Chains A and B, each alone.
Chain A
C-alpha cells in the first residue's frame, strides 16, 4: 500500500463481535415479550430486570433505518410529515415514528407497537418528545424520567435532592410496571448486570486509553461496530464481559506493538457528535484519501470514561465522584442509587461536559493527539450543536484546525450533498497542507 507508515491487520475479535451482534438483534425481535420504548442504556439499565420486557430505544432503531434503506427512511419521514411533524425534528424520531405510523418495519414485518414509554432523559427536547408521540399514537402508559442538570459550582444539597428525586421516579416506574404488566422485577438479575457492567466499563476505559496511542489501534469506525454490544450485557452478561476482555486485550497488544487501525495514519481528527449513520463513508474516505483517522469524540467515549491530563503530565480517568464498585447492593434503592451515581450532573454525558467545561474539547484534543476537528451543524435533532461554535473557537485558539460544516443530521439523508461534503473535506485537508495519498 502506498503511503503506508504503520503495520496493520484486521481485528481478530471481529468475527466474534458479528456473532454477538446477530444474537442481540435476534433477542430484541422476540415476539414473546412486552415491548417498551425508552433508554436501553449502554450496559445496565433497570428495565432489563423485567425478564419478559424488551425495551427498544429509537436512537439506534432510527439510525439503523437510516443506514439500511434511504428509500424506507424517506417513506417513514414522509409519514411523519403527513401527521404534522416538521422536517426539522430529529431524524431518528422521524424514522421510528414514521415506521410506527406505517405499521411495518423495513423487512415488511409488523411494527412492534410499544406497550409503554419511558422517554430518554436528555437536554435535547426532541428526545423527550419521543414518548409524547408514542403515547399520542396509542393510549400506553408513559413515565417521564427527569434530566438532572445545573450549571455552576457543585452543590451537595442540590445533588442529593436531584438524585433522590430520580431514584424515587424510577422506583415508582418499577412498581407501576410490576402492577400493570404483572411482572416481577428481578433484583438479583439487575445486580448481576451492574457488576458485569462495571467490569465492562473498565475494559472500555482501557480501550479508550489505548486509542490515545499513535498510531491508534482502533478507529472510531471500528469502535462504533462494538458500540451496541453493551446492550448484549442484558442478554448474556458473562459472554459480553468475555468479549470485551478479548477486545481490550487485543487492542492493548495492537497499541503496544504499533499495529495501526489505518496503516497510512498521518493525521488524526476528532468529532463532537454522533455521525451521520446513513453516511459513514466519510470515515473511510478520510482514511483512504488522506490517511486521516478519526479517533472519536466525547460522544464516542463518554460511555467509558473521560480522560484528563494529570498535574504530572500523565493521562488518567477524570476525577469525579463515583461509588465504589464494592458498594453493597442490598436493597432496590441501593441499586437505583448506584445506577444514578453520586453526581446528578452525570459528568460522563458528552453534551453536559461541553456546557459545563468551556475547554472540554481542548483537553480531549490534547489527550488524543489530534490534528484537527470536524464539527457538523445539524438543522435539528440528534447531538444538538449548541456550544459547538464556541468549542471550535477554543480549539482554534489552541492551534487546532476546525472544519464546521452544515451536515446531514444522523437519521436523515435529505440534507446530504455528498459531493459538496467531500469537497469540503478536501478543502479542509488541503488548507492544512495535506494532499491526497498516491494510489
Chain B
C-alpha cells in the first residue's frame, strides 16, 4: 500500500510517500503564498518522480499544515497536532512529548499511548516562529545557514524585545544603525525566538519531559535549537525526517485509514 502525506506550511510544502510503512520518496518546495494549490501540485509531482511512483498507484493522500485545505488532490485533512503525534510514534517511539517548531506554528504535545495527552500551540505572537527568523535573515542580509551557525549572545550583547515581531525588527534595525553587527543582531533575534517558543513548552501543565522529540523546519537552525534547549531547560532528540515529520504523520494517518 502506498500513501502520501503533504504538509502544506506557511513557507514550505513537504511531501512524503510511504510504501508498506517505509519512506520511499519525499520532496520539498516553497508553499507559494496565495498560489498554494499550484505549489502543492508541483511538489507532489516532484515527490512522485523521486519515489518512482505513478500518481495512480498512490492509494490515499492526506494533507496537514496551515494550508491543508489548499491541497485539492488530498483525500482528507488532519490537524497538525495529530500529524505530529503520528509522526513521533513512528520516528521516535519512546518519545514522551513532541515539539513541532515550524514557520507558522510552535506546537507541543505530550504522548499518551497512541493519543495526545495535552497539547499547546503558540498564541497570537509570531516572535517564536520560523517565519520571523526567515524574515529577519532577509532584513539582515544573512542566509538561514549563517543564522543557524551563530553562537548565543553574551551578557553584554545587544537584545531585542520579544513582544512584537514588528517592533523587534525596528529595534534590530536601530541596533544596526548604532553599530551592532548583523551577526550580533541575528543572535539576539534568534534568542527571543527561542524564548517565545519555550513559553509554549511551559504552557504544558502535565510535564512529560523524559524524552522530547523536536521536529519541524526549525530543527535545521542549530542556533535556535541550542537557545531553545537553554530556555526550555531540556534536551531534545531530533529524529531523522524531522523536517518532514508533519508529512510523515499525514502519510501514516492515510495508511491507517486504508486499513
Contact = CB atoms under 8 A, between A and B. Distances in A.
B178 interface: no
Quick one: which of A397, A415, A426 has the most chain B CB within 10 A? A426
Interface string B90-111: 0000000000000000000100
Interface of B: 66, 78-82, 85, 109, 115-116, 118-121, 123-124, 203, 205-206
Contacts of A404: 120, 203
B66 A423 contact: yes
Quick one: which of B82, B205, B206 has the most chain A CB within 10 A? B205
Main secondary structure, interface of B, reads: mixed
A406 B126 CA distance: 13
A396 B78 contact: no
Contacts of B119: 403, 427-428, 431
Given A404-B120, A405-B123, A424-B121, A431 B205 contact: no
Contacts of B115: 431-433
B123 A427 contact: no
A406 B123 contact: yes
A402 B118 CA distance: 8
A393 interface: yes
Interface residues of A, number: 24
- Ranked nearest first, the 9 interchain pairs of A and B with the lowest CB-CB distance are A406-B123, A431-B116, A427-B79, A427-B81, A430-B82, A393-B205, A430-B79, A426-B79, A431-B119
A108 B98 CA distance: 54
Contacts of B123: 377, 405-406
A392 B121 contact: no
Contacts of A377: 123
A417 interface: yes
Nearest to A415: B124
A197 B227 CA distance: 60
Interface string A407-439: 000000001010010011011101111000000
A310 interface: no
Contacts of A424: 121
Given A404-B120, A406-B124, A427-B81, 13 more contacts: A377-B123, A404-B203, A420-B124, A423-B66, A424-B121, A427-B79, A427-B80, A430-B78, A430-B82, A431-B81, A431-B82, A432-B116, A433-B115
Contact of A389 (B80, B116, B205): B205
A406 B109 CA distance: 17
9 contacts: A377-B123, A392-B205, A396-B205, A403-B119, A406-B124, A417-B124, A427-B79, A427-B119, A430-B79
Contacts of A405: 123
Contacts of B79: 423, 426-427, 430-431
A404 to B, nearest CB: 7
Contacts of A403: 119
A396 B120 contact: no
A422 to B, nearest CB: 11
Contacts of A420: 124
A397 B206 CA distance: 8
B109 A431 contact: yes
A408 to B, nearest CB: 9
Nearest to A401: B118
A224 B116 CA distance: 33
A413 to B, nearest CB: 13
Contacts of B206: 393, 396-397
B66 A427 contact: no
A396 B66 CA distance: 27
A432 B120 CA distance: 14
Contacts of B78: 430
A12 to B, nearest CB: 39
Quick one: which of B78, B123, B203 has the most chain A CB within 10 A? B123
Nearest to B253: A430
A427 B118 CA distance: 11
Contacts of B80: 427
Nearest to A426: B79
A402 B79 CA distance: 17
Nearest to B81: A427
Contacts of A432: 115-116
A403 B120 CA distance: 8
Contacts of B81: 427, 430-431
B57 to A, nearest CB: 26
Contacts of A397: 206
Contacts of B205: 389, 392-393, 396
Contacts of B82: 427, 430-431
A393 B109 CA distance: 15
A93 B117 CA distance: 38
Nearest to B206: A396
A418 to B, nearest CB: 12
A404 B109 CA distance: 13
Contacts of A389: 205
A2 B226 CA distance: 50
Contacts of B85: 431
Contacts of A406: 123-124
A406 B200 CA distance: 12
B199 to A, nearest CB: 11
A1 B82 CA distance: 27
B121 A396 contact: no
Contacts of B116: 431-432
Contacts of A417: 124
A376 to B, nearest CB: 11
B164 to A, nearest CB: 13
